[in-house]
Amino acid sequence: MKKNIVYVTGCLGFIGSYVTRECLKRGWFVRGIDKCTYASNKKLLDELNQYENFIFEKKDINDIEFLYECDYVINVAAETHVGNSIVRSDDFVHSNINGVHHILELIRKYRAEGKDVPTMLHFSTDEVYGDIHEGAHTETDILKPSNPYSATKAAADMLILAWERTYKIPYVIVRPTNNYGAGQYVEKLIPKACKYLRVGRKIPLHNNGTPVRNWLHAQDTANAVMTIIESGITNEIYNICGGFEQDNLTTVRKIVKLYHGDDEYEKYLDLSISRPGQDMRYALDDTKLQSLGWKAKAVFDIELEGIVEYYRKNFIW
């Protein structure tokens, strides 16, 4: 049975680590790339290095000199925090646009005797579509990014489509909804709320907690990637949807209840913040992906209990 040889960029990041584990469990050979930013979990190397089929390189994706023989470059490396992109967008352009361009050029120049070029499997985001008040976005909808982060991700998507048309670089673009799970860095809503509860500070909640998010467990995301790769399909875009949505206030209220057992959640919140370029609701239609046999399995309220307990025991600065 053929075993894939893959790169996973951003392998020490939240989603990247889940994808890396799934590749390794299948016996695939994985070359993990990560430049070890503030959001990388370097402790994961102790786990990943136990696999004989794993090799790690500490490197910016812009600094990869060439590609060893491989079947896929799974690009999860990215700057992802919307708030940071609003304050300073340079790093987002560097990683999310220049980095993708660099990988595409490496694939274009790829040389391996008797072998086709590898497929670029790129992680985009639901945010490239902009917000939607009713219904759900499909893969053919136009892109209307609302902030510097989503604009850089949309630009990367356009580069990939252009490189396929001009240079015949095979690709898959995945656009997942809001990922959650144990191990996520504390700039994201769930772990940030847990951190602030632990240190006795009020949880900053943008726009009075009214934005609605569709929650997708990172394990379901990783399983979706495996489904797509194992299907052998290329040159397609797939939405990945968790199938569960609620406003951010409800999410934080549940976290407070799990953490403190307190129904009077208001005293734990700071509602004075309003984020520029805030998208009020994301929603995706992932019928196309489900036609391959994938379906989200995680149940948000069940998973949330374990995640809150994880952050209760693991303080992350």
Q: Is 129 assigned a catalytic role?
A: no
Cα 190 to chain centroid distance, Å, stands at: 15
Given a contact cutoff of 8 angstroms between Cβ atoms, the answer to whether 6 and 35 are in contact is no
Q: Which tokens go with 268?
A: 């734990």
Catalytic residue (one of 126, 220, 245, 279): 126
The total number of residues written for the chain in this structure = 317
Give phi and psi for 305, each to the nearest 5.
Answer: -60, -45
Would you state the structure tokens that stand for residue 22, as one six-digit string? 């799934």
- Distance between CA atoms of residues 125 and 243, nearest Å: 16
Report the distance separating Cα 236 and Cα 239, nearest Å: 10
127 is catalytic: yes
Q: How far is the C-alpha of 73 from the C-alpha of 107, rounded, in Å?
A: 9
Q: What are phi and psi of 267, to 5 degrees?
A: -70, -10
Name the β-bridge partners of 173. 122, 237
Residue with tokens 């959001």: 39
CB atoms within 10 A of CB 297: 10
Active-site hit among 149, 185, 282, 311? 149
Residue from 34, 127, 157, 303 carrying the catalytic annotation: 127
Report the distance separating Cα 194 and Cα 252, nearest Å.
9
Single-letter amino acid code for the residue at 291: S
Alpha carbons 155 and 305: distance in angstroms, whole number: 37
Active site residue 264: no
Q: Which residues are catalytic?
A: 126-127, 149
